[in-house]
Amino acid sequence: MFKELNFDVIEKLEANRDKSAHRNLISNALKHIGIEQVAFNKKAADELSTTFSLELPFSKITHQQKSGRCWLFAALNTVRQKFIVEHNLEDFEFSQSWLMFWDKLEKCNYYLEAIINLSDRDLDDRTLYNLMSDPIPDGGQWDMYVSLIEKYGIVPKSVFPESFNSSSTKSLNFALAVKLRQSTALLRRLIKSKMTEEQIYKKKTKCMNDIYNMLVYSVGEPINTFDLEFTDKDKNYKIYKDLTPKSFYKDFLKCELSNYISLINAPTEDKAFNKTYTIEYLGNVVGGKEIKYLNLEIEKLVDYSRKQLERGEAVWFGCDMGKHLDRQKGLMHSELFDYNEALATCLDLDKGKRLTYCHSKMTHAMVFIGANIKNDEVEKWKVENSWGSEVGFEGIFVMNNQWFIDNVFQVVIHKDLLSEEDRENFKKEAIVLPIWDPMGSLARI
C-alpha cells in the first residue's frame, strides 16, 4: 500500500532539520554556486600531479567529437604509438571512421538477425524491448573491435578521413534506427503471416542495401586498395603502394589481437569470481569473436595493468566516467567531491551495490599509458583520453589508484601476463548474462 506524504510528516521533517549556523552557511554556498563546487576537495585534487615513474610515449591526443566511439579510439590508441616509433613519425592516426562504417553495417545486420530469431516473443518481452529501444548505438567492446579489424582490416586516417556524420553521429543514428524499426515491423509481420524464409530474407537484404547506401552517403565509400605515404622525422619520404586494409593490418600492425583477454571486476552476487561471462544479444559481427570476460578481484586487474605497462604496452580499460571526475582539469580521484559533508548525509555505496542497484556501469573507454609507483604500490595512473587536448593536461587525465578500484570495471591484458590458473579459467564456457546486464553497458552508449 502506498502511504501519503501528509503535512504532519512534513512538519516533523522541518522540525528535525539542522538549522545550525554552520549548516546555514553551507546551504547558502550550495544555493549560490552549486553542490559540486561546494563539495570539491582541493586537497585531493592537489595530489594528482603529472609526475609518473613509469610512462609510455604518446603523441597528439585524438578526439572522438560528438560520438560514442570511445572504445574504437581507445583500441586504436593502444597500437598507434608502436607504429609511430617504428616508422620514426611525428604523429599518425588510424582511421576510426573506417571501423565505425563497418561497425554500423555489421550492427544493423546483427540486429535484424536478432529480430528474426526473437520473432516468437511478444513486444513487451524484456530482451526484445532492450534491442528495439536502442537498435544502433555507437558503443562497443574490445572483442567487437577485434572482430571488425580481423574482418575488414585497418587504414590510415588520411585515406578514410572523418566525415561530419562520423564525428557527430546523432542524425545518422536516428535515420538508421528508423530504418531498423521499420524493418522490424515488416519482418515480424512477414514471419507472422508464414512467409517463406526466402521471402523474409529478401526483405532483409533490401533493408541492408538501403543501410549500406545510407552509410556510403553519410560516412564515405569503402576503399579496396590504397597507397601509404609519409615523411618521417628525418625528412625521409616513403611510399608503400597497393595495400589492402587487411594487408596493412597484418603487415604493419604486427599485433595478434586474439591474444588479449578482457578481465572484469564485477563484485555482485550474480557473478562469481574466476568464472567467465558473456552477454546475450550483444555484438556486431555475426560469427565474429565472442564477447567474453573473466571476472577477477580488483587487485588482479591493478596488478596485470601495471605489468603490461612495465613491458611497454598500453592498457585498454572501461570505467564509469561519471563518478568523482573533473572533466576540464582531467582529475579522477576517489575523494574529489565530499558530497557527504556538503549535504550532511551518507551517500556511500560499495561497488557491488552500485552495479546491482543501477548507480554505476561502464560508460567510457580509455587507455593507461603510465603509472606512478611508490613502495612497490601503484599510487596513480596516467590516462590517455579521446576528448581532445582542450581538457585535462592537454588531453591527459590523472587517476588515483582508489578511483581505479572503485570505478574501473574492465581491462584488456595479454594472455601471457596472466597466471596459469587465470588462463585456464578463461578457457571455460562462458555463463550467459542478459542483455541489460551492466557489463554490457559500454556497448550501448
The conformation of residue 443, written as its DSSP 8-state character, comes to: G
Domain that holds residue 78: 54-444
pTM above 0.85, yes or no: yes
151-184 pLDDT tens trace: 999 999 999 999 999 999 999 999 999 999 999 9
Confidence (pLDDT) at 445: 80
Closest C-alpha to 399, from 327, 322, 331, 353: 331
20-67 pLDDT tens trace: 888 999 999 999 999 999 999 999 999 999 999 999 998 899 999 999
Cell of 386: 579521446
Confidence (pLDDT) at 253: 87
364 is catalytic: yes
35 in any annotated domain: no
Confidence (pLDDT) at 289: 95
Q: How many domains does the chain have?
A: 1
Q: Which residues, in sequence order, are bridge partners of residue 66?
A: 168
Confidence (pLDDT) at 2: 86
Instruction: Read off the amino acid at residue 234.
Output: D
Backbone conformation region of residue 294, classed left if phi is above 0, alpha if psi is from -120 to 50, else beta: beta
72 in any annotated domain: yes
Confidence (pLDDT) at 244: 98
* Contact indicator for 80, 95 with CB cutoff of 8 Å: no
385 is catalytic: yes
Q: How is the chain split among helix, strand and coil, in percent rounded to 5?
A: 45, 20, 40
37 in any annotated domain: no
The single residue of 63, 324, 333, 364 carrying the catalytic annotation is: 364
* Contact indicator for 148, 285 with CB cutoff of 8 Å: yes
22 is catalytic: no
* Contact indicator for 385, 50 with CB cutoff of 8 Å: no
Can you give the CATH number for the domain in which 256 is found? 3.90.70.10
Question: At 156, phi and psi to the nearest 5?
Answer: -65, 150
* Contact indicator for 386, 61 with CB cutoff of 8 Å: yes
Closest C-alpha to 401, from 374, 421, 424: 374
Confidence (pLDDT) at 47: 94
Question: At 287, phi and psi to the nearest 5?
Answer: 85, 5
Three-state SS letters, 287-339: CCCCCCEEECCHHHHHHHHHHHHHCCCCEEEEECCCCCEECCCCEECCCCECH
The single residue of 165, 372, 385, 407 carrying the catalytic annotation is: 385
The low-confidence residues of the chain, meaning pLDDT below 50, are none
Confidence (pLDDT) at 255: 85
23 in any annotated domain: no
The single residue of 63, 70, 108, 165 carrying the catalytic annotation is: 70
Confidence (pLDDT) at 254: 81
352 in any annotated domain: yes
Summary mean pLDDT of the chain: 96
282: helix, coil or strand?
A: coil
422 in any annotated domain: yes
15 in any annotated domain: no
31 in any annotated domain: no
